[in-house]
Amino acid sequence: MVPLDTPPDDTPPIPATTGDGPAITTGGGPGSLARDGLVPISTRDELTRLTGPEDAFARLDPRAEVRGWADGHAVAIIRTAGRRPPSLFVWGAKVGPLLDALTDRLPTLGIAGISVPRDHLHALTRRFTVLGGGDWDWMWTTRVTVPDPDLTLVDLDDTRDAAEIAALAAENPRFEGYPGTGTSESWIGWRDDGGHLIACGATQRLPSGVAHLGGILVASRWRGRGLGTAVSAALTARAVATDGVCTLGMYADNDAARSVYKRLGYVVDKAWASRTVDLR
């Protein structure tokens, strides 16, 4: 997805409380103002008091204890999720000044990259040499959609069925189910009349422990028959029943998946641009 044209970082902060650009309120908030003008953030509760209750990512994604900073226009936290290396996530009305304030310490944080809302990607590319990365959406729902009753889904085992899941995933290099590693739980799938695994998916866990869909996959020759929708709906229903909410991360260019998740009630809370940058 091509980043949106956005105003330069010296524009006034926008007073939004949702989406990619919440106004960050530091006055009277948690933490004391450091010498560099930043407010340290050490817990998820502190983060959500700064971003506001409508920020689903702040409420649902981070661990209870975080390492982060705020400057009145944006917040930044170090995020480690799944099998990915730590990365700095920065969002708010103006991310550029916070990136500037953190620049000197970035090489010491042990991060592999920086993520910003896609409509603020210009603030990142102006300041750093980008080495790679991609765009993805963080989505969530509390809605339950009943799976197609005509499709019989089966439970899969992360260890016993790992080889079969991996074989199915061989045709998709972006598959992130990691079967057999313990990263994913509550695998389900669909088999054809010959017993061959045709579709699968699992639940993973965010740093907070909240349910997160992962490893959703349908064999290419079977796509367009509702199998991905059925697997996603079943996993979502299980997660909402136990956690009250379900989340997922989706590559921004996957229009077919976006259509499925939209029908299941998922909404985008953050449209991320994640980039590996040269921090030397």
Q: 130: closest CA among 273, 5, 2, 275?
A: 275
Q: Token digits for 127? A: 């300041």
**At 36, is the pLDDT very low, low, confident or very high (cuts 50, 70, 90)?**
low
User: What does the mean pLDDT of the chain come to?
Assistant: 89
Q: Are strands 211-218 and 246-251 parallel, antiparallel or unpaired?
A: parallel
Degrees, nearest 5: CA angle 13-16-20? 90
Edge-to-edge strands, sheet with 197-205:
39-43, 65-70, 74-79, 87-92, 114-117, 267-277, 130-141, 246-251, 211-218, 197-205, 185-191, 154-155
Instruction: List CB contacts of 57: < 8 A, sequence separation 6 or more.
Output: 91, 138, 269, 270
pLDDT in tens, 134-178: 999 999 999 998 878 889 999 999 999 999 999 999 999 999 999
* Whether the Cβ atoms of residue 130 and residue 108 lie closer than 8 Å to each other: no
pLDDT in tens, 203-248: 999 999 999 999 999 999 999 999 999 999 999 999 999 999 999 9
- Helix/strand number for the chain, H first, E second: 7, 12
Using the predicted structure, report yes or no on whether residue 8 has a pLDDT greater than 50: no
Q: Which residues pair with 213 in a beta bridge?
A: 203, 248
Topology adopted by domain 141-270: Aminopeptidase (3.40.630)
Gyration radius of the chain's alpha carbons: 20
Q: Tell me what the mean pLDDT of segment 96-104 comes to.
A: 96
**At 17, is the pLDDT very low, low, confident or very high (cuts 50, 70, 90)?**
very low
Domain ranges, ordered by start, for the chain: 1-132, 141-270
Number of Cβ atoms within 10 Å of the Cβ of 183: 17
| H/E run at residue 134 | strand 130-141
Q: How far is CA 192 from CA 153, 156, 195, 204, 257, in A?
A: 10, 15, 5, 25, 22
What pTM, to 2 d.p., does this model score? 0.87
Task: Select the more confidently predicted residue: 112 or 148.
Answer: 112
- Rounded CA-CA distance 257/127 in Å is 33
Q: Which residues pair with 24 in a beta bridge?
A: none
Instruction: Give the model's pLDDT for residue 259.
Output: 95
- Rounded CA-CA distance 182/174 in Å is 18
In the chain, pLDDT over 70 holds for what percent of residues?
87
Instruction: Give the model's pLDDT for residue 12.
Output: 30
What one-letter code names the amino acid at 187? W
